[in-house]
Amino acid sequence: MAMSRDQTQLHWFDPKRRGVIPLQGFHISRSLVRRIRRNTYTIRTNSAFGAVVRACAARDETWINEPLIILYSTLHEAGYAHSLEVWENDELIGGVFGIALGGAFFGESMFSRRVDGSKIALAYLVDRLQNAGFSLFDTQYLTPHLARLGGIEVSRLAYHEALAEALGRKADFNRPPVPAAQSLLQRMTQTS
């Protein structure tokens, strides 16, 4: 990651405590259940990868700089970087993007242009990762927002062990179809 949008140098971070979302521990609130049940949106994957990355970078302060945008695009073209998008009519209202290696998904960033846009994206992403053979959802850092959704911190050692196991797995981000809202909610409420 970069220290800011204006920095050209990139850094590799390996924090003492790492943020992850346990795939069986995603917390879906009652208000998010109601919003998903309304089903006023469409979920797509990889249809607007560049737009999702740029939306994530469109903040006053961001670590996503132009060299990273180029690198993410290259990884996307090679089949390693993916986006999950929330659309309302023809408008992109939320999304998340990350990198998939083996059974590990490294969530890079998310954005929301409507209430709960990023939460809807995360719910569908967790479901996709569960059904595609992933075992690790790395969020790098734990924010209060991610903690409310079931995110936790693990030690560097525990993370490295989970990462080694996940990298040895075969998973396919593109394999599972997007579930109907009701199917997603049934699966999510059984595991949360």
Predicted TM-score (pTM) of this structure: 0.92
Q: How far apart are CA 44 and CA 54, in angstroms?
A: 17
Q: How far apart are CA 122 and CA 184, in angstroms?
A: 12
Nearest to 64 by CA among 19, 6, 118, 112: 6
Round to the nearest angstrom and report the end-to-end CA distance of the chain.
Answer: 31
Indicate the CATH number for domain 17-191: 3.40.630.70
The predicted-structure confidence for 119-171, as pLDDT tens digits, reads as follows: 999 999 999 999 999 999 999 889 998 999 999 999 999 999 999 999 999 99
Q: How far apart are CA 132 and CA 117, in angstroms?
A: 22
The predicted-structure confidence for 55-68, as pLDDT tens digits, reads as follows: 999 988 876 888 88
Average pLDDT, stretch 43-58? 96
